[in-house]
Amino acid sequence: MADILLVDDDPHLREVVRYALAREGHALREAGDGEEALRAFEVAPPDLLVLDVLMPELDGLEVCRRIRKVSSVPILFLSSRSEEMDRVMGLDLGGDDYLTKPFSPRELVSRVRALLRRAGGESRAPTALLESGAIRVDPASHRAWAGEVELELTVTELRMLAALVKHPGRAFTRAALVELAYDGPHHVSDRTVDSHVRNLRAKLRDAGVDGRIQTVHGLGFRLS
């Protein structure tokens, strides 16, 4: 059982999601807008956040931005907008996955299950402490460091970094990184992968480690 916070201004959609996740045994809390979501998060951070993008007053992107300042909780975005730029923007802000409305309850449950497995360490990701130069990754505790600075990474970012650190110098295709970062079949565009890598580079650079993740033109990425 996981404690899941659902944030959406549509009561009917919340009812559908509530029923689907309750059948999986999860405890669901609900918020109808962004401000209510932040208050609920402050009282008791959930194990996973299902977050609508388009809400009045305070939208899901701003909620994600604020939460990412203090937490790496998995975030699944919901949106009626399917444009790739919207998905990339959500992932750039620290979201872990993006589901376009309308969606089937079965697909929602599958995405939630995968995010919880990844956050809990049940994955094909390595579990031993990984090191390459100043970068260290502990997949079991979902922690990573650049020198003495601990990095605030999403689940997806940490798993991609773990793959790169485990095999320094190896060139990974974007498809290979997707397979290592997501559980089960998952359609993820190249731009989405690039967005995650861009976030990783920025966080490493802010911690004083720059230039380690290199682009292999026509293929993907490697850790120098």
Q: Would you say 15 and 40 are in contact if contact means Cβ atoms under 8 Å apart?
A: no
Taking phi over 0 as left and psi of -120 to 50 as alpha, with beta for the rest, 68 belongs to alpha
Give one DSSP letter per residue of 39-106, joined into a string.
Answer: HHHHHS--SEEEEES--SSS-HHHHHHHHTTT----EEEEES---HHHHHHHHHTT-SEEEESS--HH
- Helix or strand (DSSP H, E) at 197: helix 190-206
Give the dihedral of Cα atoms 145, 196, 182, 76; nearest 10 deg. 100
pLDDT in tens, 179-198: 777 765 566 778 888 888 99
Position 122 confidence tier, pLDDT thresholds 50, 70, 90: very low
Percent of the chain with pLDDT over 70: 92
Position 102 confidence tier, pLDDT thresholds 50, 70, 90: confident
Instruction: Out of 1-10, 120-129, 204-213, pick the least confident.
Output: 120-129
Number of alpha carbons in the 13 Å side-chain half-sphere of residue 36? 14
Structural domains in the chain? 3-120 (3.40.50.2300), 130-223 (1.10.10.10)
Statement: the pTM of the whole predicted model exceeds 0.75: no
pLDDT at 221 over 50: yes
75-79: strand order across its sheet: 27-31, 3-7, 48-52, 75-79, 97-100
pLDDT at 205 over 90: yes
**Calpha distance 130→139 (Å, rounded):** 8
Mean per-residue pLDDT, 170-184: 79
